Structure formats: C-alpha cells, structure tokens
Amino acid sequence: MPEPRRKKRMKNEPVNGGAGGHENQLELAIGREIRSFRRKMDLTIAELAKLAGLSAGMLSKIENGNASPSLGTLQALSRALNIPFTAFFRKYEEERDASYVRSGQGLVIERRGTRAGHEYRLLGYSVGKSISVEPYLITLTEESEVFPLFQHPGTEFIYMLEGDMLYMHGDKSYRLSPGDSLFFDADAPHGPEELFRLPIRFLSIIVSPRFTD
C-alpha cells in the first residue's frame, strides 16, 4: 500500500494546537470578555462606549479582537462595567496554558510615564496562584532628555536585543548592548538613563506577587 501522505506544515504554523492564522488570541479573549460583561449589564455598544469615553466604532473593534486596547482603555472599561481590571484576563487564563503571539503583534500597553517613541508590547499574560509573569518587548526609537522611572513589586529581567543604552537601577547604572542582561529587584527605582544608539529593543520579563482583588 502507498504510504499515507503527511500534511506539510506551513512556515511559521504553530505546532500542537497553537493559535493559527493572524489572530491575536489575547486580544480576542479580552474582546469576548468585554462583550460578555456588557451584555450581562444589558448595555449596547454605544452606551458602554459613552460610559468609558470611547467611540462606538473603537469599542466594536476591541470586542471583535481587531484593535489593541491600551491599559488606560481597559481601566476605563473596568470602571464603566464596575468590575476588576483583571476580570478581562481570567477566561484567557482558564482556557489556555500557552500564549502564542506572532511577530509584530502583542498588546500595546501604556505604562505610567510612557513617552512618544517608547513602546511597551505585552507578549503574553500568565498568572498562577501566587505570581504574575509579564513578558514585554520594549522599543525606544526617540531620544529624550528625561526618562520615566519605574518602581513596582517583584523582580525584573532585561535582555538587550538591539541598540546601546545606560540603564539605571537604584544608585547604580549599567551599560547594556546586544546580548547583555540585567536581573534586579524591581522595588528599587529603575529605567533607561541615557540612549547611545537607536533604535533600542529589549525584552523585559516582570515577575511579581499576585494581589487578589
């Protein structure tokens, strides 16, 4: 008998049930949760959009997973729906034990102090019973005289991919180039201090205690 033909796996196609196509599973999961909470409150898209200070068109795109809601947008929606911010992620956490994000995708987050030319892209969201893990791809494309300093619970790991910068942690500064890494206590003030060669891209993985609502 002829040997059965094996299906040829396309380039970049995920293996073992990963998310296929160009869909961003995190955005789709968030959108589904927003729609579910809106319907439970018997609100139309226009009504919820008005409460959250959004356009109805943008809210529709978010619910359908066609737009990346910023952190500020999610916070506005959580206030409008009177639910915890983390509620948008819970179904995603329950249903998936893996997060697959294609190149150039991921949820763009507006962190406190974020400036033009500074992009924070969340690559996944995994929360266990006691810890939260947040992997970011951070891109800096514009020079600035003043940089935001961050300070939060947990630990952080940085791995440089491109560019050259001076990174401050506490009372010390570290020169970081491609291949360099920095692992530190995130309770101390930290952040870029001087940019030597743009663009700058680095991975930032934040591990912190999970606080219950």
Annotated domain spans of the chain: 25-95, 107-209
Give the integer Cα–Cα distance in Å for 31 and 13. Answer: 24
Residue 111: name the closest of 24, 56, 51, 190 by CA: 190
SS3 of 18, please? coil
Percent of the chain with pLDDT strictly greater than 90: 46
Q: Which CATH superfamily is domain 25-95 in?
A: lambda repressor-like DNA-binding domains (1.10.260.40)
Class of domain 107-209 (CATH, top level): mainly beta
The amino acid that residue 2 corresponds to is: P
Structure tokens at 108: 């763009």
- In this prediction the pTM is 0.55
Give the integer Cα–Cα distance in Å for 155 and 181. Answer: 13
pLDDT in tens, 157-168: 999 999 999 999
85-to-33, 71, 90 alpha-carbon distances in Å: 11, 9, 10
pLDDT (average), residues 67-89: 87
Residue bearing the bigger pLDDT, 48 or 144: 48
- Band the pLDDT of 197: cuts 50, 70, 90: very high
Task: For residue 69, count CB atoms less than 10 angstroms from its CB and return exposed for 0-12, middle for 13-18, buried for 19 or more.
Answer: buried
- Do 25-95 and 107-209 come out as alike in CATH topology? no
pLDDT in tens, 127-150: 555 778 889 999 998 876 667 788
Report how many helices (DSSP H) and strands (DSSP E) the chain contains, helices first.
5, 8
Please, what is the average pLDDT of the chain?
A: 80
